[in-house]
Amino acid sequence: MSFGGLYWSLPWLLLLLPLVLLPWWRHKQEHVVAWSRFVPVDPLSRIIGLLFKILASIAIAGLVFAFAGPYLPEKEVERIGEGAEIVLLLDRSRSMDDPFAGSVETVQVGLVTPATDKSKRRMAGRFLNEFIQRRPDDRFGFVLFSSEAFDLLPLTYSKGAILATVNASMLGKGLSDTNITKALVKAAKLFEGETYRGARIVLLVSDGGSSELDLATQERIINLYKKQSLTIYWIYLRSRKGMTLDVHAGDSPLWVDLPERHLHAFFKSSKLPYRAFEADTLEDFSKALDDINEQQYQTLVVTEIISKEDKRQSFFVLALLALFALLLSQLYTVWGVRQAHG
Amino acid sequence: MNRHFNALNRSYLRACLLGFSALFSALAIWVPPIDKEVDVMDVMFVIDITQSMNVADMRYQLEAVNRIMWSTEMVHDVVQEMDCGSHVGLAIFSQHRSLVLINPVEVCKNYDVLVQMLAHIDGPMAWELSSEVSKALFSVIKNAHKIKPIPSIVFLTDGHESPPLHETIRPKFTGTPGVVSGLLVGVGGDDLLPIPKRNKQGDVLGVWDVKDVLHQDVYVSSRFNMLGADKRVAKTEHLSSQKRAHLRALAGIVGMGYISDVQKVQTLINAIKKEATTHPQIIKYSLAPWFSFGALLLLIVAYYPAISRKKRV
């Protein structure tokens, strides 16, 4: 609750504020005096008396305010940082459960344990985890996709949230097929309605392409990506040894019509900012991430949250000062009474 | 003479009260927060998003809602009430397994993220039409072991197995009951109701018909000699109610609690607190409120008019 420009954690305690009137209560300790003229007129002591009542009220008010827990709520401030806004598209299809094409280890069925599990998805997750931690200013979003796509995590600064989402994607088995087009659309939509803060990247990590690449879809993707000024990075985890995204002379005829080649050709022809990294091995994958890490340090507007600020202290200091003055005067009174009755 | 003593005593008393009040205020300012242990929980909420969960036989805040909606709203309300320092993860269940969307994250710092993610959870996220509750629960428990620290599971489901299970041939739980603690939250009423059929976009395309679904488990269907015995069973698998007995039995197998007919969030929170594994976490605890309370109390006594009146002769 807000009151007096501050927020209060226990606002109902402010109901104790009328206690400030206590010192002003008639103490009735004076004796009946037959004639008022017997009472000496002493304006100075009257002023001093008033002053101490005010001080007592201040002390009580200070403590009541401090007790009610005043604070300034957390607030957002913008600063200029370096980095990018990145939406991660991590393929959750079944094929991602296989090891890297270039890996020499063969995984025996039934012997897959977390320790020896070299599945592409788990490896990718582990390295993405590291990548995220290396980039302090970046804002991350996450799209989960297999045959369908879900914009699971909107762009967030919470490193805890993005890491927990990436780590979650390393659990369990893959879902079904790879359908990148739906995921690409969802990724672009995460930027809709966001103010432009700096470099915007869609980082796709997958081992397959898309079978639904008709012209209408292509146009839709191009428009969306242009409108949101998105750059596409595709870390392609090769599923067939020796296969490249670019067509080469002497290629196996089986590779010609692969969805990943279609997608690559589309990205290249789209005139969208695009770069593909082909990873056969874990080293390739981590090198691709290093490359992206180095390239993407542009000016970025970063929103930071300044955490809630406790404002109790100043009220305590105020109360303490008033109390100190009151205490001194009271000690003087004790001394005076002693002198009088000693 | 007595009166003189009173005057002196009174001055002394007030000086003492003021002195201690000042001392307490000073302590409130300069004593740093101390470490305090609080019990926090790590909870993984698993929401059943299979077709039977589309039956709208639940009530949330006087409104009739389907079982998925009720579950997400309930989880939302529980998350809102959880103490800072507790961790919450989210998972969905379809086919015969769970899909973890986010590993447990601290609730206060990631409240917005959790709420946004919850808002996304709905039927169309299901990747298959089948709904094998037992297997899914076992897979959740298996996955929980891979998360550090191991979270407690809160599994919201109607217990509707599709295809149905055979009375004696059931999926085996290979883990140790109770190692992963948790609670099964039964969703859905007792009446057998038609199940809305939803497509990938979430649109309702009528209801599931008696001919659309398997009424016997796959094993029996494939064995002719066992078929006869089961033939007399009424075909009700296209309808859905909460399978209380099944859920209670499942909870017993995996060593978890079971609760159903939850009306209030607090009931669910209490049930989770009872079942979930808690672990101590150190938080900074400020003593300032206690000191300020003491200082204020002393000050009130010092200026309370009755002191003077009582001593009056």
Residues B29 and B42 grouped into a single domain: no
pLDDT beyond 70 at B4: no
Higher-pLDDT residue of B122 and B224 is B122
Q: Are residues B177 and B87 both part of a single domain?
A: yes
User: How sure is the predictor about A227, in pLDDT bands with cuts at 50, 70 and 90?
Assistant: very high
Q: How close, in Å, is residue B156 to chain A by CA atoms?
A: 19
Query: In whole angstroms, what is the distance from residue A278 CA to residue A285 CA?
Result: 8
CA nearest A171 in B: which residue?
B143
**Same domain for B137 and B227?**
yes
d(CA A126, CA B10): 73
Residues B161 and B95 in one domain: yes
Could you tell me if B264 and B275 lie in one domain? yes
Q: Give me the numbers of helices (H) and strands (E) for chain A, helices first please.
A: 8, 12
> Per-domain residue ranges for chain A?
2-73+308-341, 77-295
Return mean pLDDT, chain B.
83
pLDDT of amino acid B8: 76
Q: Which of B112, B117, B200 sits opposite A148 (nearest CB)?
A: B200
Judgement on whether residues B90 and B159 belong to the same structural domain of the protein: yes
Any alpha helices (H) in chain B, and if so which ranges?
Answer: 2-30, 67-81, 111-120, 133-144, 218-221, 224-230, 244-254, 265-275, 288-303, 305-311
- The 10s digit of each residue's pLDDT in A40-69 is 677 787 888 889 889 999 999 999 999 898
Minimal Cα–Cα distance from B102 to chain A, Å? 4
Residue A155 CB contacts under 8 Å (≥ 6 apart), including other chains: A85, A87, A139, A140, A141, A190, A191, A194
**Could you tell me the end-to-end alpha-carbon distance of chain A, in angstroms, rounded to an integer?**
54
Q: Which of residues 219-258 of B touch A (CB under 8 A)?
A: none
Q: Which of A65, A171, A307, A317 to mutate to test the interface with B (most CBs of B within 10 A)?
A: A171
**Interchain contact, A326 vs B11, CB within 8 Å:** no
Q: Is the pLDDT assigned to residue B227 strictly greater than 80?
A: no
Out of A26, A27, A320, name the one closest to residue B25 (CB).
A320
pLDDT tens digits, one per residue of A143-167: 988 878 888 898 988 899 999 999 9
Contact A152 B117 (CB under 8 A): yes
Interface test with B, best of A326, A331, A338, A339 (most B CBs within 10 A): A326
Using CB atoms, pick whichever of B5, B113, B296 lies closest to residue A153.
Answer: B113
The per-residue pLDDT for A109 is: 44
Return the structure tokens found at B272: 């989770």
Task: Say which CATH number the domain at B248 has.
Answer: 3.40.50.410
pLDDT of A107:
44
Chain B nearest C-alpha distance from A269 (Å): 31
Distance CA B37, CA A204 (A): 43
User: Is pLDDT of A79 > 90?
Assistant: no
Q: Are residues B261 and B180 in the same domain?
A: yes
B194-222: average pLDDT: 74
Residue B254: pLDDT above 50?
Answer: yes
Q: How far is A28 from chain B (nearest CA, A)?
A: 7
Span B241-263, mean pLDDT?
Answer: 89
In percent, the amount of chain A with pLDDT more than 70 equals 88
pLDDT at A99 over 80: no
> What pLDDT shows up at residue A242?
73
Give yes or no for a contact between A326 and A56, defined as CB atoms under 8 angstroms apart. Answer: yes
Choose the closest CB to A167 out of B98, B103, B109: B103
The answer to whether B29 contacts A28, with C-beta atoms less than 8 Å apart, is no
Examine the domain organization and report whether B212 and B170 are in the same domain.
yes
Q: Do A160 and B105 touch (CB under 8 A)?
A: yes
Task: Answer whether B31 touches A (CB < 8 Å).
Answer: no
Put simply, the answer to whether B305 touches A25 (Cβ < 8 Å) is: yes
Mean pLDDT to the nearest integer, B63-76: 92
Say whether residue B19 is in contact with chain A using an 8 A CB cutoff: yes
Residues B42 and B100 reside in one and the same domain: yes
Query: B106 with B249, same domain?
Result: yes
pTM: 0.77
Q: Which of A67, A150, A324 sits opposite B22 (nearest CB)?
A: A324
User: Which structural domain, as residue segments, surrounds residue B76?
Assistant: 36-282
pLDDT value of position A113: 43
Instruction: List, as ranges, residues 260-299 from B with C-beta within 8 Å of A.
Output: 288-289, 292-293, 295-296, 299
Q: Looking at residue B1, what is its pLDDT?
A: 47
B180 shares its domain with B264: yes
Residues B100 and B145 in one domain: yes
| Segment B257-281, tens digit of pLDDT | 999 888 888 999 999 999 888 888 8
Is residue A182 within a helix (H) or strand (E), and if so which, with residue range? Answer: helix A180-189
pLDDT of residue B259: 92
Q: What ipTM was reported for this prediction?
A: 0.76
- Of B221, B189, B239, B188, the closest CA to residue B53 belongs to B188
Question: Collapsing DSSP states into helix, strand and coil, what is residue B310?
Answer: helix
CATH number among 2.60.40.1120, 1.10.8.870, 3.40.50.970, 3.40.50.410, domain A77-295? 3.40.50.410
Assess whether pLDDT exceeds 70 at residue A204.
Answer: yes
A&B contacts, CB < 8 Å: 158
Quick check: B97 contacting A, CB < 8 Å?
yes
Q: Between the ranges A96-110, B45-59, B159-173, B213-227, where is the mean pLDDT highest?
A: B45-59
Structural domains in chain B (count): 2
Distance CA A337, CA A136 (A): 67
